[in-house]
A and B are shown apart, each in its own frame.
Chain A
Amino acid sequence: MKDRPRIQDWDWPLAAIVAAISTLGVLEVYSSTHASGMAGMHWKQLMWIGIGLIGMFLISRIDYHTLMDQAPALYMFGLATLLIVLVIGHSRFGARRWVALGGGVNLQVSELMKLIIIVVLARFFTDVRTDRLTLRDIVKVAVLTGIPVGLILIQPDLGTALVLIPVAVVGAFLAGIEWKHSAVGLVIIALMIPVAWNMRHHLKPYQQQRIETFLHPEENPRGAGYQILQSEIAVGSGGFWGQGFGKGSQNQLGFVPVRYSDFILAALSEEQGFIGVCVVLLLYLGLILRLVDNAQKAKDRAGMYIIMGVTAILGFHVLVNASMVIGYMPVTGIPLPLMSYGGSATAFVYMALGLVMNVRMRRFVN
């Protein structure tokens, strides 16, 4: 028994997997952009990783119990920033998601909300203290999650809004949701689908288009279905062995949409083939299994909920993004964690992993 958490107690195998995925990401960002007007993007991505590492280190230093003590305050702070961004945030791609931090740096505040919801729900589930969630508890979880989801939907950012939900679902599952409740929940979701379908005309035009795209990708090759079709072409033409680094025509000639970010897996699939995809997806599987392993070895339920909240978000990201690239899911703007280019998203993943390390390094501490 030690009485002080030490950085030597970080999960270094986990860090190695993260390093490997990040390296592949930076390389593919380089390959996708080096011959275009966006050359040099990989240096920026390295900078974001650096910032993420600092955040990761800092977050791992503060005892997660201390963080969870502040959960109500963090929650209110998160909701406040979401409201502020709706009022003063500036638009990009038709959505208000960004606040200027000065110096030309914009923070996507919904990324911050992801961290906060992990801590808030972890505290809530720990506080339940039984292995049987009551309906009351479930309603409380739904409200706690629903408010930020609603605020993010208004921005509008369907992708990030959806990402919060798995934290609640996985948490509820681990906290011991009753079969009848989950069954009712599934029925409600099943009933919601036709309602949502009829509501689609109230969606923003870009969201309507994304749904149309998903349902009929081939209808208009240059219009709505273009992105998904081009992504599938990139993946498919990669074949088993790939076209080679920097040699994918879909990627290099710009047919793959946002090939350095949301569709980076399509770019990688084209250049590295099925072999490359196997390596990447198995690395992600390794990441998830290693995270679950950390949850299993956590000192207490609070730590477990923190780690599984992170796992739920990352797993959801990987599943949705990879499905989108091969046309199994509509385009929702959910990036591939650790690989897609993006400042706020990259920083979030590293800070979320900081929470995991936080729990890990304190498992033997009293």
Chain B
Amino acid sequence: MKAYFGRRYAVSASHRLHSEALNAEQNRAAYGKCNNPHGHGHNYAVEVLVGGAVNPETGMVVDLVALDRVVGERVLDRFDHANLNLDPVFTDRIPTTENFCRTIFALLKDALPGGELEHVRVEETENNFFECFREG
């Protein structure tokens, strides 16, 4: 029987939205306050949803401790209390929450200790969030 297990994590990080393809004025127009030269930060909430058969022996889709370890190693250790712009993955792409969400999905997709990654949601503030689903 297929069920889904969801887990939420906290990531506090800074970023600056600035495109090299745009001039200073265009950057300000596109990104507004998010283009501030010295950056700014958020308390992101990262929600990971894992789908799969419920193991009849444990009653679980995925082991929580093992999932925490993988997310900790691949995502939290890397991005929590970091400047996203300085991470190699963002050298050629802008650390919008769309791209952050897609990055997290890619980092976790083949590394889960069980089940399949169904979706990743990244909440940038209480009022906006971004989701990336398995289908693409």
Note whether A and B form a binding pair: no
Instruction: Give A contacts to B, CB under 8 Å.
Output: none
